[in-house]
Structure 1
Amino acid sequence: MRHSLPIAPQFYVTAPQPCPYLADRMERKLFTALQGDGVEQLNNSLSQQGFRRSQNVVYRPSCTDCAACMSARINVAKFKPSKSQRRTLKRNNKLIRRATSPWATEDQFELFRRYLDTRHADGGMADMDVFEYAAMIEETPVRSRVVEYLNEDTQKLTAVSLTDVLEDGLSMVYSFYEPTLEQNSLGTFMILDHVEIAREANFPYIYLGYWVPGSPKMAYKAKFSGLEIYRDGGWQPMDDPQTLAAEQHERACAPIAEQVANIQLPASHRSQR
């Protein structure tokens, strides 16, 4: 059996484009590919430093004059559901969880299209077809699961999360749900259920992607207790979201070369850097 050595990751920066979260701002991303041996270790290491996975790429915002996007995770041991979140759990007590291998289905795609057409018709994923959807779900070089939620009575698919299993937790890569059930707060419900999965598996964290102060799309993440954000090279508890808003919006990122130099790589990749 032939084995290849882990490939030293090469980091790149995307061209500036309009920010999807804040008006009149431009975004760019620092990214690298997950390839070769050792991708699990690399994905774990970079996830713990604020990166997110999309298929075989991991990325982190690296904007010139704005640092509003901050990676967020829930510290499971410190999480306690609010009264509103307990009501959300009760409201969705007819949903049953089914975790499967990362395999795309027609039912998933139909739900995905309804979700996009209703909630994100002008977003960057609005034109995704069934083949692109299948690639998003199935093209994963790391340990991933599709977590489906079905109505116990009708067996109708109601919500889906593509979730990576990291060494220290679960990373919710992308979630979508039945848009006609807005009153059920299904996005919040899936996060709450992932907290329960993490507790059952003794995982300490749930990685939620980016929290962006000032963006209505991301405001819900700040409602979870035990939330931590990645800033200044480490994870910090977020006690008061309001204290971060103005400061981060006007804060410049470090130069790209400095950002890359400060990235901590696993030993198998670091030796070849």
Structure 2
Amino acid sequence: MMIFNTRFGRLFFFSTEPQTCSYLPDREAVMLFADPNKVIDTDTYARLIEYGFRRSGDNVYRPHCRGCNACIPVRIPVAEFTPDRAQRRAWRDNQDLTVTLTKTEFGPQHIDIYHRYQVARHDGRVGERDSREQLEFLRSRFINTSSLEYHLDDRLVMVSVIDQLPQGLSAVYTFYETGDPDISRRSLGTFGVLRLIEECRQRDLPWLYLGYWIAESDKMSYKSRYRPLHAYRDGRWELVDLTAKEPAEGTQTL
């Protein structure tokens, strides 16, 4: 059991029982969770994210799997990032979008876009009620969370939920309109990450945290397209040597 000192006192961590991994189904996953009875505020979470933790709602966790280190926490050093040709094109093609910083609140329009995104990208069987419940896990009562909303004219086409930390932004989750060929050609997932990098620059924040990079998972491997990339391994952050493989676009974070 891990112990972490906070301004609210000692924070204890507990591991879950093994279960089937949602990203690599042939493996078992074990999670290390912070005590759910303790308040984890922005400053505490800012420290925990430096040790590879993420959040879902108010629950803070980190993979703690036996014999597997596939889930690698990654972050982009904002000052050093240089877009490639495809990323420059995605940036150029979306300059007609209006981006607004808002509170993380979800109405019918958000639920509709999120539901269609989940059906198209992840699980065709997900119901609208499940979508409403899942959206609540993007919010937090204690951490400084907000959303970037992207509009094409008056039409909401993408939402990025972010946590602002003293040292950077953490990308919680991005979802966008699917099924419209004109929207699909815009590479919104790529533009969403680029816009968060720009948001960090505007706020003079050095890091954009992208959650877990899983090279063997198509859903999570896209993060290797943003270079340079730092990874948390063996108790420290270090520059990773990325392969030349160009995985499919995605936007999911953890």
TM surpasses 0.5: yes
Q: Which amino acid aligns with 1:204?
A: P
**Contact 2:170 2:208 (C-alpha < 8 Å) held by counterparts:** yes
What residue in structure 1 maps to residue 252 of structure 2? none
Gaps of 5+ in 2: 1-6, 245-254
Gaps of 5+ in 1: 243-273
What residue in structure 1 maps to residue 210 of structure 2? 208
C-alpha separation in 1, matches of 2:151 and 2:71: 32
C-alpha separation in 1, matches of 2:135 and 2:216: 32
Residues 1-273 of structure 1 mapped to structure 2, 5 A cutoff: 6-33=8-35, 39-121=41-123, 128-130=130-132, 132-133=133-134, 135-151=136-152, 153=153, 155-180=154-179, 181-241=183-243
User: What is the DSSP-based 3-state SS (H/G/I as helix, E as strand, rest coil) of the residue aligned with 2:100?
Assistant: strand
Distance 1:233-1:102 versus aligned 2 partners, 3 A rule: same
C-alpha separation in 2, matches of 1:65 and 1:38: 29
Q: Return the offset for 1:129.
A: 4.2
C-alpha separation in 2, matches of 1:239 and 1:23: 26
Q: Which amino acid aligns with 1:96?
A: T
TM-score normalised to the size of structure 1? 0.80
Name the larger-Rg structure. Answer: 1
Q: What is the root-mean-square deviation of aligned Cα atoms in Å?
A: 2.1
**Contact 1:74 1:207 (C-alpha < 8 Å) held by counterparts:** yes
User: What is the DSSP-based 3-state SS (H/G/I as helix, E as strand, rest coil) of the residue aligned with 1:24?
Assistant: coil
C-alpha separation in 2, matches of 1:88 and 1:213: 23
1:89-138 deviations in whole A, cap 9, x for unaligned? 112122111111122222111110010111111699986242x2452244
**Contact 1:144 1:162 (C-alpha < 8 Å) held by counterparts:** yes
**Contact 1:81 1:224 (C-alpha < 8 Å) held by counterparts:** yes
C-alpha separation in 2, matches of 1:123 and 1:41: 38
C-alpha separation in 2, matches of 1:193 and 1:14: 35
Distance 1:84-1:134 versus aligned 2 partners, 3 A rule: closer
Identify the structure with bigger relative contact order (alpha carbons < 8 Å, sequence gap 6+). Answer: 1
> Which structure's residues are more often helix, by fraction?
1
Q: Return the offset for 1:235.
A: 0.6
> Which structure's residues are more often strand, by fraction?
2
Number of residue-to-residue matches in the alignment: 235
TM-score normalised to the size of structure 2? 0.86
User: What is the DSSP-based 3-state SS (H/G/I as helix, E as strand, rest coil) of the residue aligned with 2:51?
Assistant: coil
Q: Which amino acid aligns with 1:174?
A: Y
Distance 1:241-1:57 versus aligned 2 partners, 3 A rule: farther
Distance 1:177-1:85 versus aligned 2 partners, 3 A rule: same
Distance 1:145-1:125 versus aligned 2 partners, 3 A rule: farther
Q: Which amino acid aligns with 1:235?
A: W
1:65-89 deviations in whole A, cap 9, x for unaligned? 1101100100001100111100011
1:234-270 deviations in whole A, cap 9, x for unaligned? 111112248xxxxxxxxxxxxxxxxxxxxxxxxxxxx
